[in-house]
Amino acid sequence: MREWLLGEWTKAWSGRTWAVLVSIAVFMSLLSGLSYAAQGDKMVSAGKTDVAAVTNDVVRASMTTFLFASLFGALLVTREYSSGSISRSVLLIGGRDRLFLAKLVVAAAVGALFGLFAVLLATVSSWVMLAGYGYSSEWTSETWLIALGVFACNVLAAPWGVFVGWIVRHQIGAVGALMALTLLVDPALKRLVPDEAKYLLTVAMSSVYRDGAADLLSPQTALLVIAGWLAAAGYAAHKLLHSRDIT
């Protein structure tokens, strides 16, 4: 099994895909964090909030990285279909189940790296951005829970991307589906039908990184909901992997 994982780990970091995803994730996180810092400065000056709340918002801005962790997972699978190497990978590793498991384990490990990087980015950016407005970053117990939630969402998002990749099997299709669900569909449904939409995967992740909205699930319930989505997607992905041709 060590050889399977080593092979998939090596493939995961080949090329520049990971660097592109990390670069865009950093840009979006910093842009969002700067927006929170600027807005927070005005509210602190007006006496409507405090520095600790602004710190929470800036740290929470790094949650955007979980979208790119899921894209990494999807591309880990779909680029082998695009290059036509998927059948060779199945033969070399000794079966579809072994490849399925190896990609899942590697994706979860990469998701953990994305999570650690997101927390590091959140820590540094909160200190630097708030210092730019003359404040010292204030980390409370709530801030640490937000950072832990950001880490957890990255770990969970990468396997979700892998499952979507196995189901869709097309690079552009999988990337488009993940971006549409995360940026358009789920947020729109949250506004239209908030009571039902809180059970969607990306909305449930809002509870995990403690978005603070009043109509969200508790973090514990949200984790169960996310586990349900991952179990359903994993079952569908495994079923389709065995029922369709490897081409």
Q: pLDDT > 90: what percent of the chain?
A: 79
pLDDT at 6: 87
The candidate with the shortest Cα–Cα distance to 160, out of 55, 231, 217, is: 231
Alpha-carbon distance values, 73 to 112, 155, 191, 207, 230 (Å): 12, 11, 28, 22, 13
pLDDT at 1: 74
Q: What local confidence, expressed as pLDDT, does residue 151 receive?
A: 97
Amino acid 98: pLDDT: 93
Question: Which pLDDT score, from 0 to 100, does residue 214 have?
Answer: 76
Residue 5: its pLDDT value, please? 83
pLDDT of residue 26: 95
Confidence of residue 212 (pLDDT cuts 50, 70, 90): confident
pLDDT confidence bin for 245, thresholds 50/70/90: confident
User: What is the per-residue pLDDT for 222?
Assistant: 96
Q: What is the mean pLDDT of the chain?
A: 93
CB atoms within 10 A of CB 223: 18
How much is the average pLDDT of 29-47?
Answer: 93
CB 176 within 8 A of CB 165: no
Helices marked H in 46-197: 51-60, 65-83, 86-93, 96-132, 141-168, 171-180, 186-192, 194-197
pLDDT recorded at residue 145: 97
- Reported as a single tens digit per residue, the pLDDT across 103-146 is 999 999 999 999 999 999 999 999 999 999 999 999 999 999 99
Percent of the residues in the chain that have a pLDDT greater than 70, as a whole number: 100
**For residue 106, what pLDDT is reported?**
95
The whole-number pLDDT of residue 41 equals: 92
Dump pLDDT digits (tens) for 43-98. 999 889 999 999 999 999 999 999 999 999 999 999 999 888 888 888 888 889 99
